[in-house]
Amino acid sequence: MEKQSLWTKDFIIISIINFFIMLVMYLLMVTIAPYAVEEFGASTSTAGLVSGIFIIGTLIARIGSGNLIAKIGSKKLLFIGLVVFLIGTGLYFGAVTLPFLLAARLIHGIGLGFASTATGTMVAKIIPPTRRGEGIGYFSMSTVLSTAIGPFLGIFMSQHYPFQVIFWLCLVLSVINMLMFFFVREEETAPATVRVKEKSHSQFIEKRALPISVITLFVGLSYSGVLSFLSFYAKEIDVVKAASFFFLVYAFVVLLSRPFSGKLLDEKGAKFIVYPALILFAGGLLLLSQAHNGFMLLAAGAIIGLGFGNFQSCAQAIALKGIEMDRIGVATSTFYIFLDCGFGFGPYFLGQVIPHTGYSGMYLTLTAVVLFSLFVFVLLFGRRGKGTMEA
């Protein structure tokens, strides 16, 4: 039987839109805290709030976006998200006080929450079911690229250009996204209007996506320790130059492995990917905790890329397995809520751990957290049968 097409125009455009919104997010994530300190004399903790309130806005949007998709459709929600995202980007130019900057970050985060949930849902709907693991793997590469290029570009621009130039770049990318939206022709399934409410929370949470989402929370928390504290750790062990290439190595390895891991996910099942991915992630964190030169640091980045980078797309595919079309939006929202909680609140909790363990000890602790996540995955999914997309 001939394979159904994966690389449709809609798939490509939606992936590019997702790449640009995530690029803006990560570009600002590494530059907005220094901006708050330099422009408003904010304390370190307040600067952290300026950076982190974006995630709070994202979570606010995630909670309601699944239900909104069921009512108005994912394409309309994407439009709303892109409009709010554009407004949030424009507000940075008028942020003349710290409270105004916090409000701009909150609104910007809400826009990203709506838009990214919509893109994930739209892609899940247009990917052929027999190629869902492969398709989500390719789509999630747009996020992987943004996590590497965004921080790299943000740090480079903050060293060579005024902050206003960074805001202008973000605004241009937001406008391009709005223009690209009008070329999307995604066919909406009819919004669910007659669905029996089993429980009130079913409007916001998909129960069948909860097991893998909870595991993703702990795995995402572990990766947040890499995102948030790698630069501090690199200074401590004197490998700052190598650290600037860490996420580029991470992204390169993911890009090389993702086409194969996506196909294996569809053909062999999720366990075939998740087991080695979590073991590799734990091994990468262990190597990172013992790193004392640039080579070890970059090797850890490559191993973490093979581990976390492939786990994330696989986990999203598991969350959507067997979900009806009218519930895919809620399932996508559920998955991202837990992933964002790991990313957003992880640095705060890990910040309480570091004074007692140091950075090396924190990464050792996270190694144990990932191995615990693997144990939970085996308990919850280990006995399920084989087959396409089965865990």
d(CA 176, CA 171): 9
pLDDT at 171: 97
Q: pLDDT tens digits for 224-239?
A: 888 778 878 888 999 9
End-to-end CA distance of the chain: 25
Give residue 89's pLDDT: 96
Torsional sign, CA 106, 37, 152, 343? negative
What pLDDT score does 150 carry?
85
With a pLDDT cut of 70, the percent of the chain lying above it is 91
Instruction: State what percent of residues in the chain have pLDDT above 90.
Output: 40
Band (pLDDT 50/70/90 cuts) for residue 202 is: low
* C-alpha separations of 328 from 122, 131, 269, 317, 332 in Å: 9, 16, 20, 11, 6
Q: What would the mean pLDDT of 181-203 be, rounded to a whole number?
A: 59
Query: pTM above the 0.95 mark?
Result: no
| Closest to 178 (Cα-Cα) out of 78, 108, 66 | 78
pLDDT at residue 200 in the model: 45
CA distance 9 to 344: 33
Of 113, 102, 57, 84, nearest to 336 by C-alpha is 113
Q: How far apart are CA 279 and CA 373, in angstroms?
A: 10
Angle between helices 9-29 and 132-160 (to 10 degrees): 40
Give me the pLDDT at residue 295, please.
95
pLDDT tens-digit map of 207-217: 899 999 999 99
User: How far, rounded to the nearest angstrom, does the alpha carbon of residue 337 sit from its chain's CA centroid?
Assistant: 10
- For residues 284-313, give the mean pLDDT: 93
Confidence of residue 195 (pLDDT cuts 50, 70, 90): very low
- Residue 102: pLDDT over 90: yes
Average pLDDT over residues 51-64: 86
Per the prediction, the chain carries an average pLDDT of: 85
- CA dist list (Å): 384 to 53, 169, 291, 356: 39, 48, 38, 40
CB 107 within 8 A of CB 13: no
Q: How confident is the model at residue 261 (pLDDT cuts 50, 70, 90)?
A: confident
Asked if pLDDT for residue 75 goes beyond 80, the answer is yes
Nearest-5° Cα angle at 285, 279 to 287:
100
Give the pLDDT score at 2.
53
